[in-house]
Structure 1
Amino acid sequence: MRPSLLLLCSLFFAFVQVQAQRMADSVVHLHTLPADGVVLDKGWKYLSGDNPAYANPGYDDRAWKTINPTLDINDLPQISKPGIVWFRLRLSTDTSLDRQLALVIQQSGASEIYLDGQLIHRFGVVSSNPANVKAYDPLWKPVSFPIKKDTIQVLAVRFATQSTIQYTTMFETNNHALWIQIKDVESAVSFYHQQASLFKWFHVAIVGVCFLFCVLHFGFYLFFPSQKANFYFAVFALFYLTAIVLQHILYLEVHEVEYKFILANASFAFFMVGNLFLLTAVHYLLEQKKDIFYWGLIFYVIISFFLNAGPYRWGWLAGGVLAQNLIHFNILRISLLAWRRKKRGTLIIVAGAILYCISFLIFIAQGKLVNVDFFLTITTLRTVLFNMTQLSIPMAASIYLGLEFAFVNESLQQKLKEVKNLSEKNLAQEREKQQILASQNETLEQQVIERTAELKLSLDELKSTQEQLIQREKMASLGELTAGIAHEIQNPLNFVNNFSEVSSELVEELRVGPFLRLPKREREEAGDILEDLDQNLSKIQHHGQRADAIVKNMMLHSRANTGQKEHIDINALADEYLHLAYYGLRAKDKGFNANLITEFDSSIGKVDVVPQDLGRVLLNLYNNAFYATQQKRSQLNGQYQPEVKVTTLRFDGRIEIRIRDNGIGIPEHVKSKIFQPFFTTKPTGQGTGLGLSLGYDIITKGHGGELSVASKQGEWAEFTIKLPYVSEAEELTIHTDSY
């Protein structure tokens, strides 16, 4: 009995010891923390289903199965199905780890992280309804991890995958189910910023270079359209730029897992199409025909779109990576063929293609390409290698295109120089011929010039004489007609004026004679009749005199151009008639005073004009100016100083006489009619309307000049006479040459 009891006790203690050892083995101990951190890929247990109690540290998870959640999501079929999965890990740290810790997480689903039953982080949306799950990848951004030292703690993760998501391994990315690494806070933050800055650096570098390529070579194409390689190279740069931007968004900006597949495929599609444009540009650049390899690569690129989106892991290698390398190897092939043909500058493309091959092989060796997390393996060396693989051939092609552009420009310059030399030779020969012809024909040309000048002078004189004769004939006919009409009107007008005076005298005799002998009653009636009769005769006399003035002006108008032109001093003529008009007005109106201002150009000298006609025009303009100032003085009740300014000047082959007053001005609607015959702005009986019309004809027809008016109503008016100017020296030259 006693040996049996001892055996049972021994078995019990052995069982307890085994269980304690198993519990101790399932705890992950952190004694030290390396600089690279510790990846939590061991000690995990999992169970499908959802129960909040799974987060409690005291929950018994001995029946749970072990798992490595850091594996690819497609390598863990037990958790890739829709539904909730729980992960648990027992963890302890030594007191020697006195640093603050952080978690670096990458995942392909949605998660809620609990430490000893307390929720410390949530990424995405975890839901029992698969349609509501939203997978979220923190992209290795550090999060705090408040662990206790010398204590076993339980790290529990509530995890779910988003249904209908397609995963991709393009650009050396992995889809960890749940990848957690423990680092100290400073190392985690430094690692994240260092890696992110490296990504940004090589992305910005490639984007900047591609943008310059696009702008530069599109400009080359616009300047030199026959070189189509520049156009295809610019399109290649635009596609590459777009691909790099999409890749940057994939790596650093997008956390939603469902968009990574779309961004990766779109980026690789732009890479592939851009490489085809690069291949096309090199074909045009090296003048290489598009052979079966070219069309085969286009077909393979189309297939690569389906391979990239199809088979997991190896699809993008067989589709995108292989297609890109085949395109670059084909560029090396055609550049070597062009080099064998001794195509100028081809070694530049060959060197770029060889540099691509070397860089790509080193890049593969550094990253081990397959199943490598590009974010975790990115280094400065790999960044440089990646940029070299992407830009070595484009840089070589760009340099070649630039040199080709320079060669073309130099060739054009050489051809222009040759054309210039030929032109100079032709010009020299033509100059010799011209000199010979000139020496032979000089005398004849001189004679022809002299005779032509004589004939031209004679013709000009003939035309001038003919025009004067025609004008004089017209004016003479018009003058005769006007004079005849005036004489015909003058006779009955004289009769009316004379008989109105006689009738007035008879009425006066009647008033002092028989009228006084009438009876008083009849005398009153007769007196009224005599008064009306006297007023009627007075009006007849007044209007008869006005009609007589009009007839006399018509007669003056008819003989406006009959005078002979003389050389006179314009300044003296203008000054003489100014004072004549002023003192004539002062004789009628003793109270009128005005400031007379003269500004005469002394360089005018004597001018060939008809002095009587020009004086008549000036006198009429002066009288109008004084009349305007008189009217304004009466309107302002004497609170106004009249002023008349006369200016003469010579410029541009003409002389000008300007007569300006500060009177009432001329209304705008009247200016267009002011030079019409019989139009006047003066009250009835004070103007005939022929003064300005007569002056306009004298200036324009008699002297070949211009008469214009400018005015501002209520402030000023200015008449300008413009006459053609011929100096005495020029006149003497003309008369001398005519002999």
Structure 2
Amino acid sequence: LEQLQQSQLRLVQNEKMSSLGQLVAGVAHEINNPVNFIHGNLSYLSEYAENLLSLIRLYQEECPRTSPRLQAAIADLDFEFLIADLPKILGSMRLGTERIREIVRSLRLFSRMDEAEKKQVDIHDGIDSTLLILQHRLKPKANQSEIQVKKHYAALPLVECYAGQLNQVFMNILVNAIDALEEAFRSAPGLEAAVRQKAWGVSSQPSTPQIHICTEQQGDRIVIRIRDNGPGICEDARRRLFDPFYTTKPVGAGTGLGLSISYQIITETHGGSLDCVSAPGQGAEFIIQIPVRMAA
């Protein structure tokens, strides 16, 4: 009965992720069209603005004498500032649209969840798209410094996999790391140093929350390591991490299915392995190994 319940919950979770993938893909498409329109026209707008400014400069040189009314209008307009600021505004608009296009690209990569067929993909694209979606969780907050992400990417071949499912694994592991770092590094007013140090079980905690992501190829397998410098996990919790419904989070903060589903995706679907190395005070490292080519 328990196994049946686990299977049903996994099916529900997979269906939710598939629906999320379709939703994200649709939103990305709707955003992409108008952004491409704006981005494409900005180059013309910049060219037209520069031509108009050049014409005005030429007019000032050829006709230096102006009426008092025109002089007053130029003064009210702060024309010299306008000439200097307009290109900057257009440049910032171009950067803004490029940023939106980057986000849309990441959403499209991440939304591969609804793809049913295995494909050859760049693993780094999946990791980067997941990080971009989680960017708001990494930024500094009122009571916490920025979570730094250090990427150590090796040159990897394209990997045959179910890209959307792998992105779900990256998301689950990274969210767990961020949750642990947020809880451990939260600097609430009046929090005693001894209380903060207790979480690490050592004399002092690290000064900056960090996540390190390393990739490498070992023979016919790809290895992805995701490590944080949080308080770590005790041995009893580490052994149960991939058990369905097991969670160390408060009630309502987690289902206990994220790592269990991730383990199933890596081991059963991709024929790989997912392990966790951790100890109190030493952070946690998740090690993903998957074959470059999936078994037929």
> RCO (CA 8 Å, sep 6+): is it higher in 1 or 2?
2
Tell me the residue number matched to 2:249: 682
2:18 and 2:253 map into 1 onto residues whose CA distance is 22
Tell me the residue number matched to 2:196: 636
Tell me the residue number matched to 1:563: 116
- Paired residues of 1:653 and 1:724 also in contact (CA < 8 A): yes
The two structures have a TM-score, normalised by structure 1, of 0.23
Say which SS state the counterpart of residue 620 (structure 1) adopts. Answer: helix
Residue among 163, 171, 185 paired with 1:611: 163
Amino acid at match of 2:122: D
How much is the aligned-residue C-alpha RMSD, in angstroms? 3.6
Tell me the residue number matched to 1:574: 127
Say which SS state the counterpart of residue 601 (structure 1) adopts. Answer: coil
- Paired residues of 2:122 and 2:157 also in contact (CA < 8 A): yes
1:561 and 1:694 map into 2 onto residues whose CA distance is 16
1:696 and 1:551 map into 2 onto residues whose CA distance is 15
Tell me the residue number matched to 1:366: none
> CA 1:551–1:589 in structure 2 vs 1: closer, same or farther (change >3 Å)?
farther
Residue among 140, 144, 148 paired with 1:595: 148
1:574 and 1:554 map into 2 onto residues whose CA distance is 20
- Paired residues of 1:563 and 1:612 also in contact (CA < 8 A): no
Tell me the residue number matched to 1:654: 221
Shift of 1:597: 0.5
> CA 1:644–1:585 in structure 2 vs 1: closer, same or farther (change >3 Å)?
closer
Shift of 1:589: 7.2
The yes-or-no answer on 1:553 pairing with 2:13 is: yes
Comparing 577-586 and 665-674, the one that deviates more: 577-586
> CA 1:704–1:588 in structure 2 vs 1: closer, same or farther (change >3 Å)?
farther
- Paired residues of 1:569 and 1:605 also in contact (CA < 8 A): yes
Say which SS state the counterpart of residue 271 (structure 2) adopts. Answer: coil
> CA 1:588–1:705 in structure 2 vs 1: closer, same or farther (change >3 Å)?
farther
> CA 1:589–1:572 in structure 2 vs 1: closer, same or farther (change >3 Å)?
farther
Shift of 1:588: 8.2
The yes-or-no answer on 1:626 pairing with 2:161 is: no
Shift of 1:563: 2.6
Q: How do 1:409-488 residues align onto structure 2 when only pairs under 5 Å count?
A: 482=8
CA offset digits 1:393-415 (Å, max 9, x no partner): xxxxxxxxxxxxxxxxxxxxxxx
The two structures have a TM-score, normalised by structure 2, of 0.54
Amino acid at match of 1:643: Q
Say which SS state the counterpart of residue 719 (structure 1) adopts. Answer: strand
Shift of 1:722: 0.3
- Paired residues of 1:659 and 1:719 also in contact (CA < 8 A): yes
Say which SS state the counterpart of residue 248 (structure 2) adopts. Answer: coil
Larger radius of gyration: 1
Shift of 1:596: 0.9
- Paired residues of 2:209 and 2:229 also in contact (CA < 8 A): yes
1:681 and 1:580 map into 2 onto residues whose CA distance is 24
> CA 1:661–1:707 in structure 2 vs 1: closer, same or farther (change >3 Å)?
same
Q: How do 1:185-584 residues align onto structure 2 when only pairs under 5 Å count?
A: 482=8, 553=13, 555-556=15-16, 563-584=116-137
Which segments of 5 or more consecutive residues in structure 2 lack a partner in the other structure?
A: 20-112, 187-194, 198-204
Tell me the residue number matched to 1:715: 282
Shift of 1:711: 0.4
Shift of 1:708: 0.5
Say which SS state the counterpart of residue 722 (structure 1) adopts. Answer: strand
Question: For this pair of structures, how many residues does the alignment match?
Answer: 185
Amino acid at match of 1:633: F
- Paired residues of 1:649 and 1:657 also in contact (CA < 8 A): yes
1:613 and 1:709 map into 2 onto residues whose CA distance is 19
- Paired residues of 2:114 and 2:164 also in contact (CA < 8 A): no
- Paired residues of 2:158 and 2:292 also in contact (CA < 8 A): no
Tell me the residue number matched to 1:645: 212
Tell me the residue number matched to 1:669: 236
Amino acid at match of 2:117: Q
> CA 1:647–1:699 in structure 2 vs 1: closer, same or farther (change >3 Å)?
same
1:614 and 1:683 map into 2 onto residues whose CA distance is 26
